Amino acid sequence: MLLTSFSEIDGQAVRQGPKKLVVLAPEDEEFLLAVKDSTSRGYVEPILIGSEDRIKRLADRIAFDISEIEKIYEDDRQVIADQGIRMLFDGTVDIASKGQIPTAYIYRAIIREESGIRRKTVSVVTLLEIQGLGRLTSFTDTGVSIHPDFQTKLDIIANAVFVFHLLGYRKPRVAVLSGQREIGGSLTSAEHAAAIRKAYEAGEPGECEVMSATCLTDILFPPGKPFSSYDDINLAGSSFPEIMVVPELTTGNILAKLDFAFPHVRRRSLVMSSRGPVIIPSRSDFHDAVTGEIATGVVVAARIKEGTA
């Protein structure tokens, strides 16, 4: 089933839950509130790893009865990350979620586990729901590689394509973004886009369509179709891509979190590891957003198990 909105994902999460979720350092009120909400909605059965003091104090404050919930008390941040990610890879849990812990620790733990399996690029897919588009889209990699090279971008695309296949998109469109304009010479990001398009023509990187356009202007207003007024913008009827590969991390971070500026855009980020989704909320996210990300993790985990991909 094709999932075109976050509310459809939330509906699926109720039907396909509860899944086992390990939460790495739920030591912030908004994060723990999200775990409470996700548990009561039937999305997840959580396991909490983190500092005993902080978890208990916060649980009391938000009236979350954690007496029946499995807890592992640990203070060392890297140990928390390693242990939680291990649980995902050994099959104890279906999903892992970042709490109040530096993201780098989690990426490090995932990369270590992955290296035991096969060489794999770890990347973050930020799913976006844009009002008026009528389907989901995404930016990637919005979290791991600072300056991904051509090969890394191919891996990043493959990871995102996998996620979109799980969400029911048979042949997601991919745009390799660039700030290339008519001036300023050739940007590396534009060279990557051209090389990836060539690789695509030669059969890489999986079941998707790599577009030749490298920015929204080219997608929505290609040569011969002038941008006269805002009434000319028709997102739903356009070939707006499902996957937008950002040129580098800083640009990706700015683009991915524009939901803070735009009330009609919502965001959910995850890392697709070979053993299941790892949810990566932003430290500034509020509990509603984190709960939504957990729901997405539940659906993705369920679909991996069903072999929908």
Partner 1 sequence: MRITNFADIIEEAAGKRRKRLVLAPAPEGGLPEALSRAARDGIVFPIWIGKARAGNQLFETQRIEPYEILDEPEPEKALKLALSLLREGKADILLQGDMAHQPFLDAVLDRETGIGEGKLASFVSLFDPPAPAKLTMITDTYINNFPSLTEKIAIVENAVRLSNLLGLAAPKIAALSAIEQVNPAIRSTLDAAVLAKMSERKQFGQAVIEGPLDIDCAVSEKAAARKGVHSAVTGQTDIYLVPNVEAGTLTTQMFVFVARIPVAGVLMGTSCPVILDLPFVPRENKRVEIALAVLLSGG
Asked if residue 25 lies in contact with residue 49, where contact means CB atoms within 8 angstroms, the answer is yes
Say whether residue 224 binds partner 1 (CB under 8 A): no
Name which of 78 and 103 has its Cβ closer to partner 1.
103
Q: How many residues bind partner 1 (CB under 8 A)?
A: 47
Residue 237 sits in the site that holds partner 1 (CB under 8 A): no
Instruction: Note whether 239 binds partner 1 by CB under 8 A.
Output: no
Do the beta carbons of residue 115 and residue 223 sit within 8 Å? no
Binding mask 123-162 for partner 1 (x = CB under 8 A): -------x---------------x----------------
Please choose, from the candidates 216, 214, 215, the residue with its C-alpha nearest in 3D space to the C-alpha of residue 193: 214
Token pair 């007496």 is found at 67
305 binding partner 1? (CB under 8 A): no
CA angle 107, 57, 294 (to 5 degrees): 40
Residue 181 found at the interface with partner 1 (CB under 8 A): yes
CA atoms within a 13 Å half-sphere pointing along the CA-CB vector of 229:
1
Q: Are 68 and 60 in contact (CB under 8 A)?
A: no
Secondary structure (3-state) at 267: strand
Minimal distance, residue 264 CB to partner 1, in Å: 8
Nearer to partner 1, 16 or 142 (CB): 142
User: Strand, helix or coil at 72?
Assistant: strand
Q: Which residues contact 7 (CB under 8 A, 6 or more apart)?
A: none
Looking at the Cβ atoms of 7 and 217, the one nearer to partner 1 is 217
Does position 92 interact with partner 1 (CB under 8 A)? The reply is: no
Q: Does 229 bind partner 1 (CB under 8 A)?
A: yes
Asked if 14 is part of the footprint of partner 1 (rule: CB under 8 A), the reply reads no
The rounded radius of gyration (Å) of the Cα atoms in the chain is 20
As measured in angstroms, the least distance from the Cβ of 250 to partner 1 is: 4
Give the H/E segment covering residue 120: none
Distance CA 309, CA 306 (A): 8
The correct pick among 1, 63, 202, 261 for binding partner 1 (CB under 8 A) is 261
Nearer to partner 1, 20 or 192 (CB): 192
Binding site for partner 1 (CB under 8 A): 30, 130, 146, 177-179, 181-185, 187, 189, 215-217, 220-221, 226-230, 232-233, 235, 246-255, 257-258, 260-262, 264-265, 282-284, 286
